Amino acid sequence: MDSFWRFAKELLNDRALLACSLVLAFIASVGLGAGIATIAPVLNTMLAGPEGAKTLQDMVTEANTGLLEWPLQPQVPQGVIDILPTRPWRSVVVIMIGIGVLTMLSALATFGHQYLSLTAVYRASQRIRDRAFAHVIRLPLRTVVAGDSADLSRRVVEETELLAMGFTAILGKGVTQIGKGLAALTVAIVFEPLVTVVSLVAGPLLFLIIRALGQRVRRARKKAYAGQAQLLSRAGNVLRGLRVVKVQTAESHEVERFRETNRRVVRELLRARTARALSSPVSEVIAITCIGILAAVAVKAVLDNELEPTNFMVALVAVGIAAAALRPLTGIINEIQAAAAASERVEELMALEPEPGTRQRLPDLPRHRSSVALEGITFTYPGAERPALRDVSIEVVHGERVAFVGPNGSGKTTLLSLLPRLFDPDSGRVLVDGLDITEHATESLRRQIGVVTQETVIFPGTIRSNIAYGTEEASEDQILDAARRAHAMPFIEQLAEGLDTPVGEQGLTLSGGQRQRLAIARAILRDPAILIMDEATSMIDADSEAHITEAINEFSRGRTTLVVAHRLSTVVNSDRIAVLDAGKLVDQGTHSELLDRCDVYRTLARTQLVGSG
C-alpha cells in the first residue's frame, strides 16, 4: 500500500479542488444528518395522537429551553418562532418540506463533490501517466530489449488507469460514504447512545476481516496483471507475424501457447475469487447478528421504561442509514487493493534506471569535425552467453566513408549502435573528436547523427510528418528538398494528397522501397555530421538503386559515413572497408587490399556481397 499512497500524493497538486470537494462532501453529510434528525418531530406527532400532538412552535420552544437536551443546541430567534405553524398537520407539512430542501441541498453538494473529486483524480492520473511514458521512452535500449514492450505499455496505460480507479474509490466514493455514515452515526448517538454503542461493535471486526481479505486480493491481482501483460505481448507478436504463422502452419502451436498463458492468468484471478466473494456475505452476517443483539437490548430497555420509543426509532433509522452508507466500503477497499497492486508495478517501472546521459546535466557535445573512434569495445547483450563485440578498436576521420562487412551475427549493427549510444559497451570508450560521449549530453550527440536502417519505422500520420519526424520545426522547402534528394518525390507526387497523404500502421500502405526513401529523406532533413546507413538500400528496387546511391553519395560528401552494406558497389566505393567476424575486427583496408590478404573478405565477396558476380 505504500506505493499507492505515494502516487496518491499527486492529488495534492490540485489542493483548491480537493478543499472544495471536501467542503461539499461535509455539506452533503450534514444535510443528511439534519434530515434524519427532523424525523423525530414527525414521529412524536404521529405517536402522540390527536390530543397530545405538538405544533412546530411548541417543538422549537421546547428545543430552545433545552427540553430535548441536545448538546450545543442553537437558539432559534423568537421572531422566527412566531411565524411557525400552530397546527400539528401544518407543522408536519413544513417539516417534510424542510426535509425535502435538505435532501436537495445534500444531493447538489454530493454532485459538486463528485464532479470536483473526479476532476482532481483524472488530472492526477494524467500526470502520472505522462511521467510513466516519459520515463519509459528514456529507458536504455538494453533494458527494453531484455524486457517486454507489451508489459511496459500495459503499465503506462492500463495500470495507471487502475490507479485512477483507486483514487476515485478514496476521494469520490470513500469520502462520501464515510461522511454520510458518520453523520448518521452522530444523529444516532445524540438520540440514543446505548443503541449506537451496541451497533458499533461490528466495526472493528469488519475492518480486520476486510483487511485480511483485501491483502489476499492485492497479491493475486498483482500476479494477474503481469500475466495479462504477457497475454497482450503474445497476441500482439502473433498478429504482427501472422503471415509467418500461417505459412508455417503454426496456428495450433500459437493457440496452445496463448491458452497456457491465459490459464496462468485465470489461476491467479481464482486465487482472489474466494476473498472477493467472502467480503459481502461476511459483512452481512456480522451486520444481521448485531441487529439481532441490538433489537433484544432495545426491547428490554423499552419494557423497563429505560428507553424512549421515539428516540429508539430515530436512532435505529440513523444506524440503518449509516450501515447502508458504510456497507460499500468493502467494495471500495477491494478497489483500493487492486489499485495498490497496480501501483506496485508502476512504481517498479519508475524505479528502472533511465538512459545514461539523460538525467544528469552534462555539457553538450560540439558538432563533430575531426574523428570518431571506438577504443577496445566489448559488448554483451542481456542474457547472451558470449559477447557480440570483443575488443574492437577503429578510428574514422571526419568526411571518411567506411563500410562494415562480415558474416551474419558478426556484430556490424551492434557496433554502429554504440555510436548514438543506444547501448553502452561493457568496456572500452566511444570518442567523438577525442571527447568521451558518456561525459556529454546524449541528446546533443544524437542530434548530429542521421540513421537509416534496413527495418524502416514509419509512424501513423502523414508523409510530411514522417519525413519531419524529430525535426518538426523544418520548413516546407526543407521537407521538399529532403524528399527530392532521397528520390521520394516521384511517388509522392502521384499520391492524391501529396505530402499530406495519411500512412497507416507501420506504413503498410506504402511499398518497402517507398518506406525506405522516406527514411532516407528523414535522415537528410536532420543535416547530420555523422551518417549511419545500416543496409539502407536493401529495400530499394533495382531501377532506382543507382539514383538512390547517387543521392546518398552526394549527401554523404563532407560527412563521416558509416555503412553496413551487402552490395558490392557500395563497399567498393567506400574509402575503407572494415571486416568483422564473430565480434572481432579482423582486418580493414580497400577492396583490392582485402582481396589480397583477408580470407574472410574474399569469402564474403564471393558468396554474400550482391553484385559480386
Residue 396, strand partner residues: 372
pLDDT (0 to 100) of residue 537: 65
Domains of the chain, CATH where assigned: 2-221+276-351 (1.20.1560.10), 363-446+575-613 (3.40.50.300)
| Residue 573 in this model has a pLDDT that exceeds 70 | yes
| Of 11-15, 243-247, 361-365, the least confident | 243-247
Q: How far apart are CA 218 and CA 39, in angstroms?
A: 42
Dihedral sign computed on CA atoms, order 527, 492, 534, 574: negative
Residue with cell 426535509: 99
Q: How many CA atoms lie within 13 A of 493 on its CB side?
A: 7
Average model confidence (pLDDT) for the chain?
A: 78
pLDDT digit string (tens) for 274-332? 666 666 666 666 666 666 666 676 667 767 776 666 667 777 677 767 766 666 666 77
Grid cell locating 606: 564471393
Who has greater pLDDT, 378 or 260? 378
Dihedral sign computed on CA atoms, order 58, 59, 62, 63: negative
CB 324 within 8 A of CB 284: no
Residue with cell 423499552: 302
**What is the pLDDT averaged over residues 345-349?**
86
pLDDT (0 to 100) of residue 205: 60
Grid cell locating 74: 442553537
Q: How far apart are CA 184 and CA 321, in angstroms?
A: 6
Q: Which residues contact 315 (CB under 8 A, 6 or more apart)?
A: 187, 188, 191, 192, 195, 196
pLDDT digit string (tens) for 95-140? 677 777 877 888 888 888 888 888 888 888 888 888 888 888 888 8
Who has greater pLDDT, 373 or 73? 373
Residue with cell 476473498: 275
Strand order in the sheet with 427-432: 389-397, 371-379, 427-432, 435-436
Our measurement of the distance from residue 136's CA atom to the centroid of its chain's CA atoms, rounded to an integer in Å, reads 10
**What is the pLDDT averaged over residues 552-580?**
85
pLDDT (0 to 100) of residue 613: 44
Least Cα distance to 452 among 466, 432, 434, 438 occurs for 466
Grid cell locating 135: 520515463
Who has greater pLDDT, 418 or 219? 418
pLDDT (0 to 100) of residue 428: 94
Q: How far apart are CA 521 and CA 464, in angstroms?
A: 10
CB 21 within 8 A of CB 170: no
Who has greater pLDDT, 507 or 484? 484
DSSP 528: -
pLDDT (0 to 100) of residue 382: 80
Residue 50 pLDDT level (bands cut at 50, 70, 90): low
DSSP 504: -
Who has greater pLDDT, 76 or 137? 137
Who has greater pLDDT, 190 or 302? 190
At 241 the three-state DSSP class reads coil
Grid cell locating 455: 527495418
Residue 67 pLDDT level (bands cut at 50, 70, 90): very low
Q: How far apart are CA 555 and CA 536, in angstroms?
A: 14
At 23 the three-state DSSP class reads helix
Query: What share of the chain in percent tops pLDDT 90?
Result: 16
| Residue 440 in this model has a pLDDT that exceeds 50 | yes
CA distances from 92 to 42, 196, 220, 416 (A): 6, 27, 55, 87
CB 548 within 8 A of CB 375: no
pLDDT digit string (tens) for 524-535? 888 899 999 887
Q: How far apart are CA 428 and CA 392, in angstroms?
A: 9
Q: Which residues contact 1 (CB under 8 A, 6 or more apart)?
A: 218, 340
**What is the pLDDT averaged over residues 238-251?**
63
Q: Which residues contact 258 (CB under 8 A, 6 or more apart)?
A: 231, 234, 235, 238
pLDDT (0 to 100) of residue 612: 47
**What is the pLDDT averaged over residues 380-391?**
89
CA distances from 485 to 139, 152, 475, 480, 538 (A): 34, 38, 16, 9, 18
Q: How far apart are CA 113 and CA 103, in angstroms?
A: 15
CB 356 within 8 A of CB 438: yes
| Residue 544 in this model has a pLDDT that exceeds 60 | no
Torsion angles phi and psi, residue 377, rounded to 5 = -80, 125
pLDDT (0 to 100) of residue 53: 56
- Alpha helices for 304-409 (secondary structure H): 309-326, 329-351
pLDDT (0 to 100) of residue 220: 67
Q: How far apart are CA 161 and CA 152, in angstroms?
A: 14
pLDDT (0 to 100) of residue 167: 86
Q: How far apart are CA 378 and CA 585, in angstroms?
A: 11
**What is the pLDDT averaged over residues 148-169?**
80
Cβ count near 567 (within 10 Å): 20
Torsion angles phi and psi, residue 54, rounded to 5 = -105, 150
Cβ count near 273 (within 10 Å): 13
